[in-house]
Structure 1
């Protein structure tokens, strides 16, 4: 296993005639595609416009003025809880799947960029990080696909039922990890394995507009905004009155619930949504 992790596919590629300058150009093109596609996605979905409009509206509804220290604390809590540890996932196994995929993706791409831009594809430490990241990405992405994908778990669809528009992101992640490991294992620097890597990564980074890739950038901001609205009392512009308050209980639509107990059980959380 250690011999495999110590393989140096990027160095082999350089030794086969592919210059580091060419590799660097490819990486920069992929980064540019992510930026352009993310901007296109924002313009198409008007997500940024909605975000700022909602934040402006929330500010007018705020009941508490937050200082710079409060906002810094909330930003730190967002990074630690929502970003680094994926705290929004209450299911510990689902959280593990997410963390494997996220950190595998980060390690794999960071190691790739470092080796390519330092022109040192034979660096033993970063080569090992590259393989560990690819393995984590493979385990996380396949685990999600077969056991946590909504249409498979909740709707009973076959995991082999594919909708390219819906599944492009997951498929690209899976293909990237598989192709990278096959490329390394076979040691065929310029063969079909390398072509598989190029196809997988191009579809991953070039398909941002049609995939869920861009949500990775929006998610931290959305989590931060949610914490801000909770702290300043604007409550995401939603009603804050609860069922145990007099004004709420006297509303016409609450007639049937006036005498109902406040704790009415788990409701939708009572069982897993597997009704197929």
Structure 2
């Protein structure tokens, strides 16, 4: 199955042409853009972001140069985007990277084959299957082992809330349906219908899912690094507990004589007290 893709079979054995596939892909991209904009307007996330950035700029204690900002952008991409450095748990990071890169490889190779009209290309075919497998492993691993209501609250993984779980379910369905479609080699059968349904729900359901957070996350991480570098510190106090001025605050009275290293605290064990 890994030597060919059903995309090539679809074009060769049915009335569906590459032009039809390209039209479908463009519609999916358009849906993502429209739904993301709708999500931003509904949650007013862009308005909050710019207002918070403007407020932070007024509180800045250091003027950043263009070089500083470029360096921060590179660090953000390398740490927060490419390597998912925000995850302290190495296994959780692996799950995230499998899902993220599986999604990227699968969709990038799909787009390359459709718009390059090369569904039978051996290299792209291999990347397509590797991406689908990575997405399958990552999305299911997350669902059964790391989803918050399952891992921390003890709920059954089969306890489904469509509004909350739409994104994860669509990712899982996309990987499963694509692999079944390829394995069975039935270009225009029920497997193809499942692929269309899964991808349409993934890209067309952005407004109701967490898909759009993938676009917001890099900007939020960049802004956080900027506020730390320019001294505005997200408009939060910058004094640490060991500084005399901070210790004079009323809320710090009980911690004045406490050791700076107070142990692991909540990191001592996994939060699973359900």
Give the TM-score normalised by the residue count of structure 2.
0.98
Cα separation, 2, equivalents of 1:127 and 1:256: 63
The match for 1:125 is 123
Cα separation, 1, equivalents of 2:259 and 2:89: 28
Residue 85 of structure 1 deviates from its aligned partner by: 0.8
Larger mean CA deviation between 126-135 and 261-270 belongs to 261-270
**Counterpart check, 1:35 vs 2:22:** no
Larger mean CA deviation between 54-63 and 249-258 belongs to 249-258
Q: Report the 3-state secondary structure (helix = DSSP H, G, I; strand = E; otherwise coil) of the residue aligned with 2:270.
A: coil
Cα separation, 2, equivalents of 1:123 and 1:212: 33
Cα separation, 2, equivalents of 1:230 and 1:174: 37
Residue 271 of structure 1 deviates from its aligned partner by: 1.4
Give the TM-score normalised by the residue count of structure 1.
0.97
Q: Report the 3-state secondary structure (helix = DSSP H, G, I; strand = E; otherwise coil) of the residue aligned with 1:212.
A: coil
Residue 268 of structure 1 deviates from its aligned partner by: 1.6
The match for 1:167 is 165
The match for 2:111 is 113
For the 8 Å contact 1:7–1:185, the answer to whether it is kept is no
The match for 2:258 is 260
- Structure 2 counterparts to residues 35-184 of structure 1, below 5 A: 35-184=33-182
For the 8 Å contact 1:142–1:174, the answer to whether it is kept is yes
Residue 261 of structure 1 deviates from its aligned partner by: 2.0
Residue 23 of structure 1 deviates from its aligned partner by: 0.6
Residue 140 of structure 1 deviates from its aligned partner by: 0.5
Cα separation, 2, equivalents of 1:154 and 1:107: 31
Structure 2 unpaired stretches of 5+ = none
Cα separation, 2, equivalents of 1:10 and 1:125: 14
The match for 2:204 is 206
Larger mean CA deviation between 244-253 and 218-227 belongs to 244-253
Cα separation, 2, equivalents of 1:146 and 1:21: 39
The match for 1:13 is 10
Cα separation, 2, equivalents of 1:64 and 1:124: 53
Q: What RMSD, in angstroms, separates the aligned Cα atoms of the two structures?
A: 0.9
Q: Report the 3-state secondary structure (helix = DSSP H, G, I; strand = E; otherwise coil) of the residue aligned with 1:90.
A: coil
Cα separation, 2, equivalents of 1:136 and 1:8: 17
Give the length in aligned residue pairs: 273
Cα separation, 2, equivalents of 1:254 and 1:267: 18
The match for 1:273 is 271
Deviations 1:91-126 (A, max 9, x none): 111111111100100010011111111111111111
Residue 255 of structure 1 deviates from its aligned partner by: 2.4
Cα separation, 2, equivalents of 1:165 and 1:202: 16
Match of 1:222 among 206, 220, 223: 220
Cα separation, 1, equivalents of 2:252 and 2:116: 66
The match for 1:240 is 238
Deviations 1:157-206 (A, max 9, x none): 01111000000000000000000000011011110000000000000000
Cα separation, 1, equivalents of 2:130 and 2:254: 57
Structure 1 unpaired stretches of 5+ = none
Deviations 1:28-78 (A, max 9, x none): 000000000000000011111111111111111111111011110110111
